Every structure is written in structure tokens, then in C-alpha cells.
Amino acid sequence: RAQERALNINEVRGSTFTLTNFGAIAGISGTPVINYPEVGILGLGRIMQVPMVKNGAIEIGTILPLSLSVDHRLIDGGDAVRFLKDIMTWLSDPVSLLLL
């Protein structure tokens, strides 16, 4: 039903955190909007190769733009940023996830 875009509102309610992938439709970045009663939503952009500086030299690197929206009535902004930083660390070194 989801693939046919035929879900009704009762079939998508009750979540607390959502992942959205606007990169799948060539979106580079975006601002995900929280759907009450969710606490947060993490948006994933399009994976791209871009020039970046590594060890003082310009090289081609791969990036994945991330954006996080949270309900500040429940989540402190500092905690949200630390959470996003942890996600970035795990994605940059997936082997570290085995050590959790």
C-alpha cells in the first residue's frame, strides 16, 4: 500500500522517530518536518563526490548530507547535535558499530 501511495493516516501514526531519504529523488539537502507526536526526524540527502581538503591536499571525497529536526520541547538542541555527530562518526567508520 505504501508503494501505491495508498496508506491512510492511521497506518502511519504512532512513530517516535523517522528517517526520510530525499536523496533518493536527487535531493541534495532539505529540512525535514516533524509529524506530531514524533520526537525527531533525520533526513538523508544524496551521496555525492566533491572536492575536499585532506591532510592539506585537495582530493575527491564522498559526502552524505544529513539534517536533523527535533521537538525542542522534549530534546535539548545540544543533545540533538551530539546525536547527529555520533551518527556521522558511525557512518564514517562503520566497523565502529560492531564495537557498540
Which residues are catalytic, by number? Answer: 72
- Where in the chain does DSSP place strands (E)? 17-21, 40-44, 48-54, 57-63, 66-70
Give the CA angle between residues 28, 30, 35 to the nearest 5°: 140
Alpha-carbon span 98 to 1, nearest angstrom? 34
